[in-house]
């Protein structure tokens, strides 16, 4: 079996996900007139005109937050504001500034020691893609007819006279599926992947890769892009169990929605708004207690090799889900606890743009609102402060990035009131052990923390939380934890 080899830079990274149309726009990029006003609620089809030069203009802010890598939703030429309808894989969308804006941003990111990964939409194209458009123009005489799977003529690409009569993603006419069993199509997509790695991207986030079932497709993709840059980071958008897909031959990690589910269930408790998390692709409800959360995390960590856990792309929300703040109905304590669990977990954390300043929004399109750069008075300074604190802690403590992870409390079989409310674990690297504990309940809890990893350690040093709540009793610690609160404690030999 191939052993997972996750690039070191990715293991150490803190990601920031940017939806390019909504993050920032620059006066340096010419714009058409028919754009939505930046501060109006987002719509499904409207464009607001965010661009890559706008991202470049705000890199100081992202670095101050502690961000070291950016995942961009699709940036290639497209007739959709989300750009999952790819027209041309070799051209950055002109609304984003085209290829020159990309190269300028790439160079500035790398000058700052930051990384970027792009969204690779290789399962489907769009009706505007040259190869499919040729079929629309030429019908059965098109030279590219076998690049897609046509079932009948004439194609119902725009009319509603019948169901789509060609293979398309989830029966959406705008998204014809590539025929990836065709060697020519396969080679075309492989070369796209190689091209942008040669052009300096640091990785690919692969859209719905499980829907490409051609044998060996993703194994070949990995081999070819890694041959150009062995440090290319490859993330699959897999919502369910991905244990067999991150064994070292395809992806370095997946968008870890199974972790997302567990964190929402535990940190959210009675604040979870079920209507915001149904019909999406994950199931972060009903609420669970600490013992159940501990079991879920144990199972998740134990399902893949250690190195694969280091490559998991961990998140609390994304462009495909309601924002965490909306899911928790604005409960600040729950959002803070979830963010603490995210930043202390195994594998790089990702912040969805705007979460750090309290940007709100339910399911699509509300989760894709524009970043309020011109209204800093609307920023949630409390959220910004703890995001900075937890991200800085991850950078300062190597144990949070690569240290061993051990469940500390509750132990299996514990049915106490504390076991329903408090989850604690250790991260250990060399002579340093960090204890992370979260009380998701509504009452203060006092718990013992006893483990071999704590024996022989020095005086506890509180990194997050109140220092007067920890005492040492022989070889174990006793922790008093207020409701809806968390702590991080450092112990050294």
How far is the C-alpha of 101 from the C-alpha of 241, rounded, in Å? Answer: 37
Could you tell me if 203 and 232 are in contact, meaning their C-beta atoms sit under 8 angstroms apart? yes
Q: Which residues contact 473 (CB under 8 A, 6 or more apart)?
A: 448
108 as an active site residue: the answer is no
Range 249-265 burial, b when 16+ CB lie within 10 A, else e: bbbbbbbbbbbbbbbbb
How far is the C-alpha of 128 from the C-alpha of 90, rounded, in Å? Answer: 14
Report residue 296: phi and psi, to 5°: -60, -45
Q: Which residues contact 80 (CB under 8 A, 6 or more apart)?
A: 45, 126, 174
Could you tell me if 253 and 246 are in contact, meaning their C-beta atoms sit under 8 angstroms apart? yes
Distance of CA 316 to the CA centre of its chain: 8
The label of the residue with tokens 């802010």 reads 61
How far is the C-alpha of 128 from the C-alpha of 130, rounded, in Å? Answer: 6
Helix, strand, coil tally for the chain in percent (to 5): 35, 20, 45
Q: Of residues 237, 261, 320, 356, which has the active-site annotation?
A: 237
Q: Of residues 21, 207, 320, 485, which has the active-site annotation?
A: 207
Tally the C-alpha atoms within 13 A of residue 205's C-alpha that lie toward its C-beta: 26
Token output for 96: 């984003």
E strands, 144-263, in order: 203-206, 233-236, 253-254
Q: Which residues contact 373 (CB under 8 A, 6 or more apart)?
A: 24, 58
Neighbour-count burial of 161, counting CB atoms closer than 10 A to its CB (0-12 exposed, 13-18 middle, 19+ buried): exposed
How far is the C-alpha of 446 from the C-alpha of 469, rounded, in Å? Answer: 9
Distance of CA 28 to the CA centre of its chain: 29
Task: Tell me which residue of 250, 243, 178 sits closest to 218, measured CA to CA.
Answer: 250
How far is the C-alpha of 31 from the C-alpha of 28, rounded, in Å? Answer: 9
The label of the residue with tokens 């661009």 reads 51
Token output for 64: 């101050």
Token output for 370: 């524009």
Dihedral (CA of 415, 315, 428, 402) sign: positive
207 as an active site residue: the answer is yes
Neighbours of 474 (CB within 10 A): 7
Q: Which residues are catalytic?
A: 207, 237
């Amino acid at each position: 079996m191939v052993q997972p080899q996750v690039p070191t830079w990715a293991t150490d990274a803190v990601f920031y996900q940017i939806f390019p149309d909504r993050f920032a726009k620059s006066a340096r990029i010419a714009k058409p007139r028919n754009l939505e006003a930046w501060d109006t609620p987002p719509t499904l089809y409207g464009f607001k005109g965010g661009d890559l030069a706008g991202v470049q203009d705000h890199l100081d802010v992202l670095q101050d937050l502690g961000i070291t890598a950016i995942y961009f939703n699709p940036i290639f030429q497209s007739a959709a504001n989300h750009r999952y309808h790819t027209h041309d894989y070799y051209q950055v969308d002109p609304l984003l500034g085209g290829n020159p804006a990309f190269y300028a941003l790439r160079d500035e990111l790398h000058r700052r020691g930051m990384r970027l990964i792009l969204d690779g939409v290789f399962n489907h194209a769009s009706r505007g893609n040259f190869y499919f458009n040729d079929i629309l123009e030429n019908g059965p005489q098109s030279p590219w007819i076998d690049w897609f799977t046509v079932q009948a003529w004439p194609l119902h690409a725009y009319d509603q006279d019948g169901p789509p009569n060609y293979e398309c993603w989830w029966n959406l006419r705008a998204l014809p599926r590539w025929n990836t069993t065709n060697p020519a199509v396969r080679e075309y997509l492989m070369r796209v992947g190689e091209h942008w790695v040669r052009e300096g991207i640091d990785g690919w986030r692969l859209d719905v890769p499980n829907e490409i079932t051609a044998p060996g497709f993703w194994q070949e993709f990995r081999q070819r892009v890694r041959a150009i840059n062995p440090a290319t980071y490859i993330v699959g958008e897999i919502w369910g169990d991905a244990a067999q897909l991150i064994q070292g031959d395809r992806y370095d990690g997946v968008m870890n929605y199974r972790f997302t589910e567990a964190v929402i269930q535990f940190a959210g408790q009675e604040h979870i708004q079920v209507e915001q998390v149904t019909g999406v692709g994950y199931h972060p409800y009903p609420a669970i207690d600490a013992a159940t959360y501990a079991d879920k995390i144990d199972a998740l960590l134990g399902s893949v090799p250690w190195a694969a856990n280091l490559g998991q792309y961990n998140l609390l929300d994304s462009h495909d889900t309601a924002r965490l703040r909306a899911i928790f109905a604005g409960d600040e304590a729950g959002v803070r606890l979830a963010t603490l669990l995210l930043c202390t977990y195994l594998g790089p954390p990702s912040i969805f743009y705007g979460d750090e300043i309290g940007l709100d929004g339910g399911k699509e399109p509300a989760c894709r609102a524009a970043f309020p750069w011109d209204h800093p008075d609307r920023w949630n300074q409390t959220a910004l402060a703890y995001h900075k604190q937890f991200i800085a802690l991850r950078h300062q403590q190597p144990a949070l990035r690569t240290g061993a992870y051990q469940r500390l409390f509750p132990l299996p079989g514990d049915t106490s009131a504390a076991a329903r409310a408090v989850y604690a674990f250790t991260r250990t690297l060399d002579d340093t052990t960090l204890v992370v504990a979260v009380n998701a309940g509504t009452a203060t809890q006092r718990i013992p923390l006893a483990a071999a990893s704590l024996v022989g350690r020095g005086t506890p040093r509180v990194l997050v939380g109140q220092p007067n709540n920890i005492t040492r009793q022989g070889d174990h610690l006793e922790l008093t934890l207020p409701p809806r609160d968390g702590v991080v404690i450092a112990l050294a030999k």
